[in-house]
Structure 1
Amino acid sequence: MDFMNNTRRKRIAEAVDLIGQAKDILEEVRDEEQESYDNLPESLQISERGDQMLENIDNLEEMLDLLEEAEELKEM
């Protein structure tokens, strides 16, 4: 049985909307970082700079995964 009131449901919906906005921003940043990495000469891709860029991309992916999990709030 579901006992959550409409005010709390509305607040959750607002939070889920903000999570969606955050995901959009992080996806754009991840895509820009990936594009920058892809446009580096191969010699720079295998350098410390390239390694850091790949780590940034991985970290952004992890954040996106966590936000996707948080979006499950809307199922409450």
Structure 2
Amino acid sequence: MNNERRKRLDEVMALISEAREQLEEIAAEEQEAVDNLPDGLRESGRGERMEEVAAALEEAVSSLEEIESSLEECKA
């Protein structure tokens, strides 16, 4: 890989890393909100939806981690 493409790849990796970090924060905040729900509300449709969102955010974080790993392999 030439220097120009390597530089562009580094820029993309930085953007992905920033997105992952922000998603981690949002996921943690959403999970904390779920954890702080009273039991009755947690078992409601709203509570279940909040849990689904928290899980989906964690899945997105994992996907970005996989992408980061794949891109690191490209640089090797």
- TM-score, normalisation: structure 1: 0.90
- Deviating beyond 4 angstroms after TM superposition, the runs of 4 or more aligned structure 1 residues are none
Q: Matched residues in 1 for 2:20 and 2:44: separation? A: 29
Aligned alpha-carbon RMSD (Å): 0.8
Q: Which runs of 5+ in 1 are unaligned?
A: none
Q: Which runs of 5+ in 2 are unaligned?
A: none
Q: Matched residues in 1 for 2:33 and 2:9: separation? A: 36
Aligned sequence identity (%): 51
Count matched residues: 73
Q: Matched residues in 2 for 1:38 and 1:58: separation? A: 13
- TM-score, normalisation: structure 2: 0.90
Q: How does 1:54-73 map to 2 (within 5 A)?
A: 54-72=51-69, 73=71
